[in-house]
Structure 1
């Protein structure tokens, strides 16, 4: 019988420890299952033109308060339809992903009341006299359609909107505040998730819930296809806005430069 040297023993112990750590370490859910399918399936299908259209459209929404207000109104109609559909649906897989901290209608109402509540009107009262834009009507109609025919496709709407809001919310809210001269979170409640102190941990939890859903491979592919359609419908809303993306970008750059110099 041979005894291992101290170095051999140390190496063996280190290897065993690493093996245990590797086995117990939780795998990033974004690298598995439907989460991976959605991330890959939506990323690969978006052309450079589509991505450029999305960014350009977002900057159009920051060009002035009128354009930003139009964006908020469209988003309100979309989220109102989506969250009503989730409330009314008995699709348990949609319910499992419907976490209260993600809901956006109340935040959008606060933003709309900030911009349009001069007469003390509530957002709902104000919006009762507002007609959704053509692209917004198309989007809302699609939500209502899938809610009735294939409610599990609402998962694609949850994924595209809520996770997009979480991933880019802080940055986009900051850009809106800087470009439009907003302060103290006024008019940007939509981009704030006060009930989510750790965004990355929350997203990881949501992806895990997504991967644990009982779905067939065919249903998963349908959800990926729907997510791509949702992206295109969001681009459609942004492209309707009348602001100048160049104006917004220049204003943002100037204000950011001033802030760095301590002038803002």
Structure 2
């Protein structure tokens, strides 16, 4: 009887969490919906609810996005699905300067290749995948038809926002050394061993299963659809167009350009 129960348990685990075989070809696509909370700070306190809703409508393309993650066992491509602005009928050209481009990751080689466009110039950011010290939890929950388990981590905020920019960054950089400190971002992720790959959306990877949901800094990314081994084979290839640069150098390039813009604007006002 004990032998029967033991055999049944093993078979159940095999069915629940598929085991890779050397000859098995494995690839898929996952669609993620993202939502970011709108932070208006002190400025928002002086606005009416109608004004806030109007701003939310105008910023909808930046606050709510759809991404596709294409993957095989070791590689993935993560990119945004481009949509037209609900009000203007155009794409968000200004926002493109500070949003992530198409991102390729090879978890076997610890390689990141990401396209970025900044004021009409194309960059090819080549660097390592963000190293995250995940803390594995015991909590579980169902996301769609997949059983997921919780993992948490804390990483420097700059590691997640190296392609972004805010005027507050310039003020922080101009503070005396030692005053600014290192801002950290808390991450909560839910992964599923039922899809046995170490991939995830955006900068996230390195868990024993596909990351189905991740929350960080006011943003939540939730997987709404997965297709495993679709009839049309998924092609994954690292982008290769643009000026090659690392994350740190790219950030310095953006900050330098924005500083020049601020200084030139100040000179025009003083005339």
Same fold (TM over 0.5): no
TM-score for the superposition, normalised by structure 1: 0.23
Larger Rg belongs to: 1
Q: Greater share of strand residues, 1 or 2?
A: 2
TM-score normalised to the size of structure 2? 0.22
- More helix per residue: 1
